[in-house]
Amino acid sequence: MSRGRRQAGARCFLASAKHRRQRLRRTICAARFGRGVAARHPRDRSDDYGPRLCHGRGKAVVRGGRSVRRRHSEHASGMTADVVVIGAGIVGAACAAELAAQGMTVEVLDAVGIGGGATAAGMGHIVVMNDSPAELALSRYSRELWLELAPSLRAADAFSRCGTVWVAADGEEWEAACELQRAFAGSGVKTELLDAAALHECEPSLAVPMAGGLIVPDDSIVYAPRAAQWLLEHSPGARNIRVRLGCEVTALATGEARLASGETVSGGLIIVANGLFAQRLVPGLPIVPKKGHLLITDRYPGYLHHQVLELGYIKSAHQTEGASVAFNAQPRPTGQVLLGSSRQFDTLDPAAEWPVLARMLERAARYLPSLPSLNAIRAWTGFRAATPDGLPIVGPAGDALPGVWIAAGHEGLGVTTSLATAKLLAAQIAGTRARIDAAPYRVDRFAQEASHGV
Ligand SMILES: Cc1cc2nc3c(=O)[nH]c(=O)nc-3n(C[C@H](O)[C@H](O)[C@H](O)COP(=O)(O)OP(=O)(O)OC[C@H]3O[C@@H](n4cnc5c(N)ncnc54)[C@H](O)[C@@H]3O)c2cc1C
């Protein structure tokens, strides 16, 4: 099925779901017995989190205005822009904004809409993670960039520096919390250990007893589809950006992107930032889908104060087969609670799977005992673009595709790492040094691993 049709399928599923609130206790029961539970908010208010597209202001050319058109038509060679970015998710938007801020003209092509892929489906938790030194370096750098950007964002972008609380359920997880604190301290990431009483004071809705927790106060949340729109339409270089929606790219050649309509768009550089579907344009990229479920409740202001995760989440996030669930809950600025998350391989079916949702909610209810009495209003799924080592691919596509660059494969951290990805890509394009080493994210690492028999 084409990308467009798959997205349409997902939207259809959500739209046809029954319009009613449902207590999570009933949701868990219904899910166990395979009955539908996902309900879309009856009023469909724009502040109800979940997959939704930002279509920009116009249809084809979203960035209108004389100066933009003049700048883009200056390319007498037939080139439409200095850079063509494929994909208007958070990663493509960040890359476009960064290059445009450096004075390049950028044409962004998206098959659907701004923030319409994984960006719309995800949780938008901006979190420093420590699975590998490269993950820590990229997520820490990118979180710094988000904190710098935050004052410029709008209320609708829903940025909040709410912090992360990692919950240790028992003594073993308490050890893991202490270890995480040591690793973060060594990298200058601010944290504080919480004993059981401090944890309870911090998050009174959590079950007692818990062994304790670790708070990371500078972690944040953002509504990523809106932030993508801000980057494309309001960031400092936005006048250099033109966005075209409904443009599916079907093939690449040097300096050219071919559209499904038959049109060819040419640019000095091509950036492939279309997430899971990057391998359709750059064959051989090692990217596979990891399906995830999320669910959002009605408004319960003050129910949670931080993004709260179980320490077992890290193990679950890096599982490479089967289905796993872990407790992950986010307080939305609206007072709603956004619940995640699951991970499944080998499927591109966008339907919510009730047994998986039931497992996810049962797990969450162990940590939040009053959760089953809350009303659920929507559930949905999305697909993370996963690479074998869990790191994104950022850099040149290789000798076979000169002038083509990749920014894809961000798995479950692409909102967090989008801004640093853009900096890394821009530095490589300019031939300058980025603030962190770009080597661990380049696609040639997989060739090196293969030649070393890894
Ligand atoms: C359930 C779930 C929870 C998540 N939670 C978090 C979280 O808490 N924190 C975090 O940091 N990350 C999270 N993520 C991951 C994050 O959402 C993604 O890594 C990130 O959104 C990827 O952005 P992207 O721009 O690379 O891809 P996408 O958002 O998928 O954007 C790709 C764009 O390319 C377009 N496109 C595709 N093919 C073509 C084509 N051929 N031609 C033109 N356009 C095309 C699509 O329409 C789409 O708009 C989560 C993901 C999921 C699924």
| Tokens at 262, concatenated | 């038959």
Same domain, 329 and 379: yes
Domain presence at residue 158: no
What pLDDT does residue 254 have?
A: 84
Q: Does residue 60 fall inside a structural domain? A: no
Q: Please return the burial class of 434, using the count of CB atoms within 10 Å of its CB with bins 0-12, 13-18 and 19+.
A: middle
Report the separation in Å between the CA atom of 225 and the middle of ligand 1, taken as the mean of its atom positions: 10
Instruction: Find the 275 Cα to ligand 1 centroid distance in Å.
Output: 5
**Structural domains of the chain, count:** 2
Is 100 a pocket residue for ligand 1 (Cβ < 6 Å)?
no
Residue numbers of the domain that contains 364: 3-44+288-386
For ligand 1, atom 52, which residue shows the shortest CA distance?
122
Q: Based on the domain organization, do 266 and 344 belong to the same domain?
A: no
CATH code, domain with 398: 3.50.50.60
414 and 300 assigned to the same domain: no
292 lines ligand 1 (CB under 6 A): yes
Output the pLDDT for position 51: 62
Tell me the angle at which helices 133-149 and 414-430 cross, rounded to the nearest 10 degrees. Answer: 90
CA distance linking residue 296 with residue 292, whole number of Å: 14
The pLDDT, as a whole number, for residue 319 is: 56
User: 89 CB less than 6 Å from ligand 1?
Assistant: yes
- Retrieve residue 115's tokens: 């923030």
For ligand 1, whether the C-beta of 122 sits within 6 Å is yes
Query: Edge-to-edge, what's the strand order for the sheet holding 307-310?
Result: 22-23, 375-386, 288-299, 336-343, 324-331, 307-310, 164-168, 212-216, 192-195
Task: Give the residue, by CA position, lying nearest to ligand 1 atom 21.
Answer: 119
Low-confidence ranges of the chain (pLDDT < 50): 1-19, 31-47, 53, 55-70, 73-74, 76, 453-454
Ligand 1 probe mutation, 11, 108, 415, most atoms within 8 A of CB: 415
Q: Are residues 408 and 372 in the same domain?
A: no
Domain boundary residue, one of 386, 419, 443: 386
| Residues 259 and 371 grouped into a single domain | no
Q: How far apart are CA 454 and CA 452, in angstroms?
A: 6
Where a domain ends, among 386, 407, 438? 386
- Is 274 touching ligand 1 by the criterion CB < 6 Å? yes
Residue 405 within any structural domain of the chain: yes
What is the predicted pLDDT for the residue at 312?
A: 79
Using a 6 Å cutoff on CB, does residue 112 contact ligand 1? yes
Please indicate whether residue 386, judged by its CB atom, sits closer than 6 Å to ligand 1: no
Residues 260 and 349 in one domain: no
pLDDT score of 186: 94
Print burial letters for 158-182: b (CB count within 10 Å at least 16), e (below 16): bbbebbbbbbbbeeebbebbeebbe
Do both 281 and 395 map to the same domain?
Answer: yes
Whether ligand 1 lies within 6 angstroms of the CB of 249 is answered as: yes
Ligand 1: residue of 6, 264, 380, 384 to mutate (most ligand atoms within 8 A of CB) is: 384
pTM: 0.89
**Is 57 among the domain residues?**
no
Q: What is the pLDDT of residue 113?
A: 96
Same domain for 368 and 252, yes or no, is: no
Q: Are residues 360 and 314 in the same domain?
A: yes
Among 94, 92, 90, 74, which Cα is nearest to 82's?
74
Residue 232 shares a structural domain with residue 353: no
Q: Are residues 282 and 355 in the same domain?
A: no
Pair 380, 304 in one domain: yes
pLDDT at 3: 36
Question: Would you state the pLDDT for residue 392?
Answer: 98
